[in-house]
Amino acid sequence: MKALLLFIFLTGCLLGLVAQDSPTFYTPRKDSPIWQQKSADHSKFEVLQKDFDNPHALTAACLSCHTERGKEVMQTAHWKWEREAYIEGRGITSLGKNNLLNNFCTGIGGSWGTCTRCHIGYGYEDQKTFDFKNEFNIDCLVCHDNSGTYRKGSGMAGYPDPSVDLGHVARNVGLPSRENCGTCHFHSAGGNNVKNGTLDMALLDCSPETDVHMTSEGADMNCVECHETEKHQMKGKYYGVSSMNRNRASCTQCHSLRPHINDVVNEHTIKVACQTCHIPTYAKVNSTKTSWDWSTATKLNEEGEPFSLDDTLGNHTYLSIKGSFTWGNDLVPDYIWFNGTADHYLITDIIDTFPVQINTLKGKYADEEAKIHPVKIHPGTQPWDPELKRLIQMKVWDKEPGKGALWVDFDYYKAIEEGMKSVEIPWSGKHDFIHTEMTLLLSHMVAPKEQALTCKDCHTREDGRLAGLNDFYMPGRNYNASIEKGGILLIILSLIGVIIHGGLRIFFAKKH
């Protein structure tokens, strides 16, 4: 009987899912700022009709027309690399690159010259000397280049590569494209798709199966169509560094709150995020890192030189400068309750939980705002101070040998000494390695609706997608004797009622 009831329930759900459809593939918001903007033809502007040897002078030329844009940019997290946020238990807290770590490249302390290649400024050599109040330090081109020729120089603290023709780029600017955003966001943590698993160069030219929004065969959307921007303040947050449920990019900016024809499916959206069903897998095209072990770094070959090992797909499984890695493709996400708020491990925090949670996305079933979200949970092994019980900031990069950079000198003691000195935090002189975890929300690589999850992916007793979320009752997954018996009784009573009702109608029809 139980098997029959479960079959009836799942069949009904599956039929509902098969019948579901969205009224339209994509409904762009024509009132969105992105649709109201058109870029002028900058090749005709007299102020740009020259060669620029100095990028600061080019920024000055930009700001001579866009007079207020510099002030706007300097108020953004893209510029400050930090923001103030309220965190439960901490109060108002400043969060940013200078007091947060991750379990990929760990942090920027002491290595600003290379890490700031992804800063929207010029000359960010270190936190103390960079002038955040000088608007001529803003790099306009990194976001607005439409020529496809602009790039930052390696180890140049955010300055453009010397090969770039700045004048040519300036005369070919426009709204940010996928290429502009992807330069940093696709290559975060040192390589394509390394960190998130859904931010991949494949999105520049992908099939509908990879992403229905960015495919040229469909909506062919740019990042800024969802990450809407007003006065350079961009909607959407990365919860590795953000804490509050504010100014988030959401599916309902374009899709309605009840986007499905089937009402049973629409009811799921109360507690299930759209991404949960519509991102069934991630790292669909290129591999993403599934673990990073720093403890094996600094090994050299017989000639005393650094070396690398690769898997069959060309992914590095070992690098002398970074340690050991594992990779994955077409991965099933983990699932968590998330209410839009987060906490973070600060570089000054004392470790009292294991493994160390680099960031904690908060939520539980009882939270009104909480929904089930798909995530990538990335495990790492990274250095810590076992005496002072803190994670350690290493110095990983320098232009020259002998300055303590791990990637150059291959000496953990010196790299830690210089790294902790750069962030002005005490170090006991001892180090070991500790396990950490970092949780990353998945919001890209949305699959076609035909590939969305179905009822049986979650409403099943064995190995369901939501097996790890046990703080609520789910039909088909959980067994409760009272509910089971009550359900059977309701079905029996319903059948009796149908039989009685039908019999009475037949009886009185014949009598009449």
pLDDT in tens, 201-239: 999 999 999 999 999 999 999 999 999 999 999 999 888
| ∠ Cα 363 368 372 (to 5°) | 50
Q: Is 485 helix (H, G, I), strand (E, B) or coil?
A: helix
pTM of the model: 0.88
Chain-wide mean pLDDT for the chain? 91
pLDDT in tens, 342-399: 999 999 999 999 999 999 999 999 999 999 999 999 999 999 999 999 999 999 999 9
| Integer CA distances (angstroms), 24 to 18, 200, 261, 269, 499, in order | 16, 27, 11, 18, 42
Burial (CB < 10 A; 0-12, 13-18, 19+), residue 505, is exposed
| Cβ pair 449, 278 in contact under 8 A | yes
Give me the long-range contacts of 450-455 (CB less than 8 A, separation at least 24). Answer: 451/209, 451/280, 452/17, 452/277, 452/278, 452/280, 453/276, 453/277, 453/278, 453/280, 454/13, 454/14, 454/17, 455/10, 455/13, 455/14, 455/17
| Separation of first and last alpha carbons in the chain | 40
pLDDT at 481 over 80: no
Q: What are phi and psi of 14, to 5 degrees?
A: -65, -40
Q: Where are the domains of the chain?
A: 2-458, 487-512
| Cβ pair 400, 408 in contact under 8 A | yes
| Cβ pair 372, 335 in contact under 8 A | yes
Question: Could you tell me the pLDDT band of residue 160, with boundaries at 50, 70 and 90?
Answer: very high
| Integer CA distances (angstroms), 49 to 55, 155, 169, 303, 397, in order | 15, 30, 11, 53, 38
* pLDDT (0 to 100) of residue 510: 80
| Integer CA distances (angstroms), 122 to 55, 108, 323, 507, in order | 8, 16, 31, 89
Q: How far apart are CA 265 and CA 272, in angstroms?
A: 10
* pLDDT (0 to 100) of residue 37: 61
| Cβ pair 345, 358 in contact under 8 A | yes
Strand-pair category, 288-293 with 371-385: parallel
Percent of the chain with pLDDT over 90: 84
pLDDT in tens, 283-330: 999 999 999 999 999 999 999 999 999 999 999 999 999 999 999 999
